[in-house]
């Protein structure tokens, strides 16, 4: 292990783990990652829970108890996932306390089938916050059009939020606006703004996957020379937008009232193209006040051979704009790509949720007690 993870942390990047399972909790592995690899938060999503519950027998006892009570499959999933999030939050509580509430956070997502429905998303966020009942939880709400007013409402109630599935710069600005509007509602209601936290999860690798595919199809040397540049350019320009919004007069009034900035979180940071360095989306997205949530393989790769050389974001805005302009000049529509990625992101999480429903239902049947 090098000191790359420590250097990353020292540069102001919070290292979060993009994974959770009961095995990781009960084996002491999560505590070990916190202690030895500078992990200060955890993110989950439907795909992560689907994999965790399908693998091994770590959930058998709880599932058997739920089966004995004849709960619905939806209720079973909520009992199982909130138990894991609660336990992970307890393990991370010392980090939460030491950082004044900034880190030591665990995220749990609203039912992805609600992504295009505002009112049920708000209701689900309230329910999850109540069920987990830990101050260091973040409720994940997707950055769909229907998600934006839900973010404002939930923040306005004093519930901390991880906004997920952000791909476009325009949508990111709308997310920041929704957060500030939520803080203004909370302030008007007399809530303590210092207790409300939020991150905005800006997805990285999927942007390259989609744009690279289109560049490859064009096939010219110019097109091939742009491969692997769009995702970093997009993320760097997101940070520029973050700096702009959180130095505005509107923000200054909330800052004075004790509010916290909504940190940019780099998500989808596992490299999907084996031609690229496996720490690309870590090494090249170093900026103060950000979060990088990593799958364990990326975390280990960064610890082993990551090259953390200081801020790799703030000096690159002009080059980032030039890269995206060059992609657009080849006839690749940015707006079309980011909308496609948002739609696919919602669909993938919904498919994982449906798989989770099926596998949990099968487990409930398998472990159901014989009548008597």
Task: Give the separation between CA 308 and CA 287, rounded to whole angstroms.
Answer: 11
Non-local (6+) Cβ contacts of 371 within 8 A are none
DSSP E strand stretches across the chain:
13-17, 39-42, 105-109, 137-142, 161-166, 198-203, 263-267, 290-294
The total of other beta-carbon atoms located within 10 Å of residue 169's CB is 18
Q: Pick the catalytic residue from 6, 70, 126, 140.
A: 140
Q: Is 140 one of the annotated active-site residues of the chain?
A: yes
Tokens 């992101």 — which residue? Answer: 345
Q: What is the DSSP letter of 136?
A: T
Q: 200 with 172: CB under 8 angstroms?
A: yes
Angle in degrees, 0-180, between the axes of helices 230-245 and 169-188, rounded to the nearest 10: 30
The angle at the Cα of 235, spanning 232 to 240, to the nearest 5 degrees, equals 125
Non-local (6+) Cβ contacts of 190 within 8 A are none
Q: How far is CA 358 from the centre of its chain?
A: 24
Task: Give the separation between CA 191 and CA 207, rounded to whole angstroms.
Answer: 38
Partners of residue 292 on adjacent β-strands: 15, 266
What per-residue string of b and e applies to 82-119 under the rule 16 or more CB within 10 Å gives b?
bbbbbbbbebbeebbeeeebbbbbbbbbbbbbbbebbe
Partners of residue 199 on adjacent β-strands: 162, 263
* Measured CA distances, 224 to 213, 214, 278, 338 (Å): 10, 10, 19, 20
End-to-end Cα, the chain, rounded Å: 55
Non-local (6+) Cβ contacts of 119 within 8 A are none
For the annotated catalytic residues, the residue numbers are 140
């Amino acid at each position: 292990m090098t000191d790359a993870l420590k250097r990353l942390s020292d540069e102001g990047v919070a290292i979060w783990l993009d994974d959770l399972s009961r095995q990781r909790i009960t084996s002491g592995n999560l505590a070990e990652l916190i202690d030895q690899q500078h992990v200060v938060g955890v993110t989950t999503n439907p795909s992560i829970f689907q994999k965790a519950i399908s693998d091994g027998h770590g959930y058998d006892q709880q599932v058997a108890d739920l089966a004995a009570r004849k709960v619905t499959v939806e209720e079973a999933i909520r009992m199982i996932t909130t138990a894991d999030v609660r336990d992970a939050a307890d393990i991370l509580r010392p980090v939460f306390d030491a950082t004044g509430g900034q880190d030591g956070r665990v995220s749990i997502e609203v039912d992805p089938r609600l992504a295009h429905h505002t009112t049920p998303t708000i209701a689900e966020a309230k329910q999850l916050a109540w069920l987990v009942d830990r101050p260091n939880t973040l409720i994940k709400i997707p950055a769909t059009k229907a998600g934006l007013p839900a973010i404002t409402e939930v923040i306005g109630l004093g519930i901390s939020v991880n906004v997920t599935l952000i791909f476009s710069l325009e949508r990111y600005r709308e997310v920041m606006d929704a957060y500030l509007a939520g803080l203004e509602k909370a302030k008007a209601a007399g809530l303590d703004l210092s207790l409300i936290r939020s991150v905005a999860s800006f997805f990285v690798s999927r942007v390259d996957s989609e744009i690279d595919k289109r560049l490859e199809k064009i096939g010219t040397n110019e097109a091939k020379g742009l491969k692997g540049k769009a995702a970093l350019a997009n993320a760097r320009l997101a940070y520029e937008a973050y700096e702009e919004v959180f130095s505005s007069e509107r923000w200054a009034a909330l800052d004075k009232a004790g509010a916290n900035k909504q940190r940019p979180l780099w998500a989808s940071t596992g490299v999907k193209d084996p031609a690229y360095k496996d720490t690309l989306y870590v090494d090249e997205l170093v900026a103060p006040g950000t979060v990088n949530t990593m799958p364990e393989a990326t975390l280990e790769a960064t610890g082993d051979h990551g090259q953390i050389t200081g801020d790799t974001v703030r000096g690159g805005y002009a080059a980032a704009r030039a890269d995206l302009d060059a992609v657009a000049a080849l006839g690749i529509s940015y707006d079309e790509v980011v909308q496609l990625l948002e739609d696919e992101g919602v669909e993938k999480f919904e498919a994982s949720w449906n798989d989770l429903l099926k596998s949990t239902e099968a487990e409930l049947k398998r472990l159901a007690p014989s009548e008597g």
